[in-house]
């Protein structure tokens, strides 16, 4: 009798578990190199398009500001081109993502935290700092950290190689420069500082993931490769998603 009760208790537990288990969304981050996609033969627009075809995302979270996306969408649909300046600077969207909407079924979600006033202030403040003698020592420290970061990247891999660009080693080498950049300039650049802009980007990414939580869908995040390490640190804290590496898709497209 006790064995029967234990069996039925286990069966009930399994049935409840199966009913309540929710499908996690899959999340992939593809590090982009922006204008480099037009010049790098190993990571050009065709490679980007083929990677997206292999990934087969349901949603692509893009480095496009939400208020700029409707303009770009309208231009692409009506004129077959994109003139909106905050979108046009990204070949991966103009030449790959938008055209692929005509052959694939995914939704573009604009998630960039950038605004024009933020960008204008950042550019102005950078110019002021370069000419301000009171900032000379800190600016030199920032420049030195950037040099060390480039050296670390050169030592760790080929900066033209999409495997390296989409690796943890790339993120670690980049962090050498970003850490100092953040410590010295984040506060003075206000919302355009490194930590601050990543928070703004990720806030929009988080909103998209929350809206579609437990749908069992595939999300592709496409941002400049430098943001990848920061985003991954946040995404690894979530228990409602499954992070997928880029390497298997690179293998299919490049090998």
Asked if pLDDT for residue 9 goes beyond 70, the answer is no
Task: Give residue-wise pLDDT tens across range 132-166.
Answer: 999 999 999 999 999 999 999 999 999 999 999 99
Task: Give residue-wise pLDDT tens across range 22-47.
Answer: 999 999 999 999 999 999 999 999 99
Residues pairing with 221 in the sheet: 29, 61
CB 61 within 8 A of CB 70: no
Which two structure tokens, joined as six digits, stand for 158?
Answer: 């080929």
Asked if pLDDT for residue 16 goes beyond 50, the answer is no
What is the pLDDT at residue 197?
97
Task: Give residue-wise pLDDT tens across range 80-99.
Answer: 999 999 999 999 999 999 99
Asked if pLDDT for residue 10 goes beyond 90, the answer is no
Cβ burial 154-176 (10 Å sphere, 16+ → b, else e)? eeebebebbbbbbbeebbebbbb
pTM: 0.90
């Amino acid at each position: 009798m006790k064995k029967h009760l234990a069996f039925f208790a286990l069966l009930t537990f399994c049935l409840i578990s199966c009913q309540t288990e929710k499908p996690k969304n899959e999340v992939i981050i593809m590090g982009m190199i922006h204008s480099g996609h037009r010049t790098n033969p190993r990571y050009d627009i065709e490679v980007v398009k083929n990677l997206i075809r292999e990934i087969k995302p349901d949603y692509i979270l893009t480095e496009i500001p939400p208020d700029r996306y409707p303009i770009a969408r309208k231009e692409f649909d009506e004129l077959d081109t994109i003139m909106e300046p905050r979108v046009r600077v990204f070949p991966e969207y103009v030449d790959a993502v938008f055209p692929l909407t005509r052959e694939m079924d995914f939704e573009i979600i604009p998630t960039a935290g950038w605004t024009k006033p933020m960008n204008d202030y950042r550019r102005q403040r950078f110019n002021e700092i370069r000419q301000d003698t009171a900032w000379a020592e800190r600016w030199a420290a920032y420049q030195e950290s950037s040099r060390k970061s480039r050296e670390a990247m050169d030592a760790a891999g080929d900066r033209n190689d999409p495997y390296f660009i989409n690796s943890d080693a790339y993120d670690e080498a980049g962090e050498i420069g970003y850490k100092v950049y953040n410590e010295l300039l984040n506060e003075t650049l206000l919302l355009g500082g490194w930590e601050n802009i990543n928070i703004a980007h990720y806030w929009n990414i988080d909103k998209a993931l929350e809206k579609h939580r437990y749908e069992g869908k595939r999300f592709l995040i496409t941002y400049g490769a430098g943001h990848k390490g920061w985003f991954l640190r946040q995404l690894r804290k979530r228990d409602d998603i499954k992070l997928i590496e880029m390497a298997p898709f690179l293998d299919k497209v490049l090998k």
